[in-house]
């Protein structure tokens, strides 16, 4: 199954030692859109067109996903954030940045480590990485919701389990998306090397828990807007409360009836927020 999307151009470049694929549409100030697991650039399909009327929109396949390269290493948050830093530089940034799920985690890291690359940051159902660690350590509900992160530490079995979930329709995406959309993500997940590469995001995060328990992270100074589906079964809203201690200018908007995939579930509201927050004319 080939994904077609009218009006976007496809590009590849090597940054930080890895070849990344992205799509682009529009002219104006740069917006970088970063997807989550188990998705790819197409997860922003409902936002690309309306945003491109005022912005140069770039939606990336992150390291290990879809058409981007799938190396054996480099899935820690700092390396992944450096991928995005170098891509922004290649594109002539700085950029407005929006990230969902893993894209949001890495966007938080990017804004912490390289604040001059990020004008404003929009987060969709994603925790600050240190807030996730603190939430897991201190809040029972986040501990309960995080079981799958530690399941992903098992060798090989998580990859095969996710493939089976895609085949039998029990993958979490299927709770909110039609079968034809889930099939698109299945095809991307089953590309050679993709399953292990993408599950490695979780494996590397858990490795960082000891250092993140004690290290005080840098403070994010750019404006941050969080859009959050409150029916998320993997993330508790407490992570936003925890993140506020490291984010100087943060506003949170909750969507009581949305789950985890808010860009798909509430596309018009998400687009409206992004256009307003990033200053569309």
Would you please indicate which residues are annotated as catalytic (active-site) residues? 101, 202, 260
Picking from 218, 159, 215, 213, the residue whose alpha carbon sits closest to that of residue 190 is 159
Picking from 208, 232, 201, 223, the residue whose alpha carbon sits closest to that of residue 273 is 223
Q: How many CB atoms lie within 10 A of CB 223?
A: 17
Picking from 195, 199, 254, the residue whose alpha carbon sits closest to that of residue 229 is 254
Query: CA–CA separation, 216 vs 197, rounded Å?
Result: 29
Query: CA–CA separation, 263 vs 125, rounded Å?
Result: 10
**Residue 200, token pair as written in the block:** 């490695």
**Residue 51, token pair as written in the block:** 């945003």
């Amino acid at each position: 199954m080939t994904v077609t999307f009218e009006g976007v151009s496809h590009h590849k470049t090597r940054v930080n030692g890895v070849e990344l694929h992205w799509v682009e549409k529009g002219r104006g100030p740069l917006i970088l859109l970063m997807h989550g697991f188990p998705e790819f650039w197409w997860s922003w399909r409902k936002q690309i067109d309306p945003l491109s009327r005022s912005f140069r929109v770039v939606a990336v396949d992150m390291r290990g996903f879809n058409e981007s390269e799938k190396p054996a290493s480099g899935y820690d948050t700092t390396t992944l954030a450096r991928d995005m830093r170098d891509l922004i530089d290649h594109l002539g940034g700085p950029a407005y940045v929006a990230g969902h799920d893993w894209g949001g985690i890495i966007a938080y890291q990017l804004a912490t480590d390289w604040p001059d690359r990020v004008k404003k940051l929009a987060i969709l159902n994603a925790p600050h990485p240190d807030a996730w660690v603190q939430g897991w350590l201190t809040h029972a509900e986040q501990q309960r919701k995080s079981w799958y992160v530690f399941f992903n530490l098992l060798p090989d079995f998580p990859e095969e389990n996710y493939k089976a979930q895609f085949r039998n329709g029990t993958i979490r995406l299927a709770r909110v998306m039609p079968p034809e959309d889930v099939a698109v993500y299945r095809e991307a997940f089953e590309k050679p090397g993709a399953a292990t590469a993408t599950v490695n995001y979780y494996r590397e995060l858990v490795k960082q828990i000891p250092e993140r328990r004690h290290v005080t992270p840098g403070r994010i100074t750019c404006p941050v807007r969080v859009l959050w589906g409150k029916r998320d079964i993997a993330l508790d809203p407490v992570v936003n409360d925890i993140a506020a201690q490291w984010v100087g200018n943060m506003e949170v908007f909750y969507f009581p009836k949305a789950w985890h995939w808010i860009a798909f579930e509430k596309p018009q509201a998400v687009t409206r927020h992004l256009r307003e927050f990033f200053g569309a004319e």
